[in-house]
């Protein structure tokens, strides 16, 4: 199996003492890796370190075998991401936002913008300024931005926040369809029930440390990731799972 993302010994400590330390994991092609943990656990910090938005104190990241630090452009070309508000400008329209992204991927035709906007249900609003969008619509646009370059690895930080039922369905379908096609996902969320529906693997991050990684298919019958998470938060180890 091809390893798409390899994270080795990643650590980052902020002045306030918070951060992440000694994170190790890898994700194989086509897997959907759910990163769960309470607020402030370090999920976003880890994702930023993986995508080069911040420089880790220790460790290295490899994307499709390419070292992020040594070969940044080549490594990041395979990544689509929506982390915080990093990819969206509110004074521009959805179409203008995506046009700015597609300029870096000359292999993608301009018609790709309309395709991804259609796939997330934003075609009708493509010429509206993002400042007039609801939070759910901004999330959909963030997903469209991540899909645009047809990446091998998609990294989404709390993508379900603010989504309505229709948005949740769109998001779920996109993840399922693309993972079937071999696209790999790293998704962070504190909505464990949502991740439970499509993730193949889970990592539980607490206080900046990756407590465990677990495969969904090894769960006991009737056991959900939420059960595991609650038990982990409570300091109880679940035998046979983690």
Helix (H, G, I), strand (E, B) or coil at 41: coil
Q: Does residue 60 interact with another protein by CB under 8 A?
A: no
Q: For another protein, which is the closer residue by CB, 55 or 124?
A: 55
| C-alpha distance across the termini of the chain, in Å | 22
In the bound complex, what is the minimum distance in angstroms from residue 82's beta carbon to another protein?
A: 8
In the bound complex, what is the minimum distance in angstroms from residue 220's beta carbon to another protein?
A: 37
For another protein, which residue of 40, 70, 131, 177 counts as binding (CB under 8 A)? 70
In the bound complex, what is the minimum distance in angstroms from residue 75's beta carbon to another protein?
A: 7
Q: Does residue 240 interact with another protein by CB under 8 A?
A: no
Length of the chain: 242
Which pairing describes strands 201-206 and 32-36: parallel, antiparallel, or unpaired? parallel
Compute the distance between CA of residue 216 and CA of residue 162 in angstroms, rounded to an integer: 26
What is the Rg, in whole angstroms, of the alpha carbon atoms belonging to the chain? 18
Q: Which stretch binds another protein (CB under 8 A): 20-28, 100-108, 116-124, 212-220?
A: 100-108
In the bound complex, what is the minimum distance in angstroms from residue 125's beta carbon to another protein?
A: 17
Q: For another protein, which is the closer residue by CB, 70 or 166?
A: 70
For another protein, which residue of 28, 29, 54, 168 counts as binding (CB under 8 A)? 54
Considering only residues 141 through 160, tell me which ones interact with another protein, judged by CB under 8 A. Answer: 155
Per 3-state DSSP, the chain is made up of helix, strand and coil in percentages (nearest 5) of: 35, 25, 40
Compute the distance between CA of residue 188 and CA of residue 33 in angstroms, rounded to an integer: 8
Q: Which single residue is written with the structure tokens 């993608």?
A: 108
Q: Does residue 89 interact with another protein by CB under 8 A?
A: yes
């Amino acid at each position: 199996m091809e390893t798409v993302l390899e994270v080795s010994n990643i650590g980052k400590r902020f002045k306030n003492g918070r951060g992440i330390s000694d994170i190790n994991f890898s994700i194989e092609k086509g897997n959907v890796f759910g990163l769960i943990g309470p607020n402030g656990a370090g999920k976003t910090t880890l994702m930023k370190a993986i995508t080069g938005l911040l420089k880790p104190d220790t460790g290295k990241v490899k994307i499709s075998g390419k070292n992020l630090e040594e070969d940044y452009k080549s490594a990041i070309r395979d990544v689509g991401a929506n982390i915080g508000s990093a990819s969206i400008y509110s004074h521009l329209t959805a179409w203008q936002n995506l046009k700015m992204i597609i300029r870096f991927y000359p292999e993608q035709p301009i018609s790709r913008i309309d395709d991804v906007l259609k796939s997330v249900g934003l075609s009708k609003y493509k010429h509206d300024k993002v400042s007039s969008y609801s939070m759910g619509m901004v999330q959909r646009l963030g997903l469209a931005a991540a899909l645009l370059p047809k990446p091998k690895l998609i990294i989404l930080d709390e993508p379900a926040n603010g989504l309505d039922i229709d948005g949740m369905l769109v998001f779920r379908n996109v993840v399922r369809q693309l993972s079937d096609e071999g696209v790999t996902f790293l998704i962070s969320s504190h909505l464990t029930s949502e991740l439970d529906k499509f993730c193949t693997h889970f990592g539980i991050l607490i206080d900046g440390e990756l407590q465990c990684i677990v495969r969904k298919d090894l769960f006991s019958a009737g056991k959900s990731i939420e059960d595991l998470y609650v038990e982990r938060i409570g300091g109880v180890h679940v035998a046979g799972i983690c």
